[in-house]
Amino acid sequence: MPLRLTAVILTKNEAENIAHCIAALKGWTDEVVVWDSCSRDDTRRVAQDAGARVIARPFDDYGRQRQAALDSINSEWILFVDADERATPALAQEVLEACRDTRRAGFWVPRRNFIVGREMQGGGFFPDYQLRLLRRRSARYDLRREVHEIVILDGEDGILAEPLLHYNYANWAQFHHKQRIYAHYEARILKEQGVRPRPHNLVLQPLRELRRRFVTLKGWRDGLHGLRIALLLAWYYGFIPYWLLLGNRLTGESRG
């Protein structure tokens, strides 16, 4: 008989985070599964000690990792959580209520993002909805997307009110490392879409991204911290992908 609700945590070298993430999920989900991308640290041992079931699968990309979990886990509902995210008691209650919904194929979960110790109010970081609660037989991932995955639902979706807490960057080194990876992914997506950048894109695209983050998405609400992040994202999303394509510099180094 399938379980009602399984929480799945994708990991790679998350020994520092995983125990706290599991603790926030135990007791109200039927099972916690750590879907590990062959970590080199103590992630698997720590996860097992915390009471999770661990499945190791070599990493190819994020969409395929999540799809493999959907295909393998015998549960009616799956809640995807990242190791640096924390579920709250209020979210737990809302998720359990949502799992009793017979019409929905999935639910969007808002996130409160903390970047270098500060909770973000603007810039696209709140409510930052993620399609994470999925009815397993009614959802699948678009395998053409390697990052910032797209979920295809066979049915209606819903929106939850209670957020996940996302402590996604503890320091600026982590931030820069991750954005470099994302910038390469973005360049590959643009290339697949047939985008052929011109030199003026190296000026106009960063300016557009800066305006979008700081003005349209109200990054100004986070003051100088928000301005710094908007400038950095303008560099990583507005400049780097077009620079890589323009100079034919794109390589396979984006794999995480």
pLDDT in tens, 57-114: 999 888 899 999 999 999 999 999 999 999 999 999 999 999 999 899 999 999 999 9
SS3 label, residue 187: helix
Name the percent of the chain lying above pLDDT 90.
84
**162 and 178: one domain?**
no
Please indicate, yes or no, whether residues 156 and 178 belong to a single structural domain of this protein: no
Q: Is residue 50 part of a domain?
A: yes
In angstroms, the CA 6 to CA 28 distance is 10
C-alpha span between 168 and 20 (Å, rounded): 14
Judge whether 254 lies within some domain. Answer: no
Residues 26 and 48 in one domain: yes
Number of domains in the chain: 2
pLDDT value of residue 252: 53
Measure the CA–CA gap between 161 and 110, rounded to whole angstroms.
7
The model carries a pTM of: 0.88
* pLDDT single digits (tens) 154-169: 999 999 999 999 998 9
CA angle 106, 60, 84 (to 5 degrees): 55
Q: What is the pLDDT of residues 116-143, one digit of tens each?
A: 999 999 999 999 999 999 999 999 999 8
Is the domain of 164 the same as that of 177?
Answer: no
Domain that holds residue 206: 171-246
CB atoms within 10 A of CB 231: 17
Q: How far apart are CA 47 and CA 32, in angstroms?
A: 9
Each residue of 172-185: pLDDT tens digit? Answer: 999 999 999 999 98
Tokens of 191: 């290339």
**Which residues are within 8 A (CB) of 175 and not within 5 positions of it... i.e. 6 or more apart?**
115, 116, 169, 232
* DSSP-derived secondary structure letter, 92: H
Q: Give the DSSP per-residue string, 60-80.
A: S-HHHHHHHHHHH--EEEEEE
Residues 96 and 213 in one domain: no
Residues 153 and 178 in one domain: no
Q: Are 77 and 189 members of one domain?
A: no
Regarding whether 179 and 156 lie in a shared domain, the answer is no
Task: Please answer whether residues 78 and 6 qualify as being in contact, where contact means their C-beta atoms are separated by less than 8 angstroms.
Answer: yes
Same domain, 110 and 63: yes
Q: Over the chain, what is the mean pLDDT?
A: 93
Condensed to tens digits (0 to 9), the pLDDT of residues 218-236 reads 999 999 999 999 999 999 9
Q: Domain boundary at 135, 168, 201, which?
A: 168
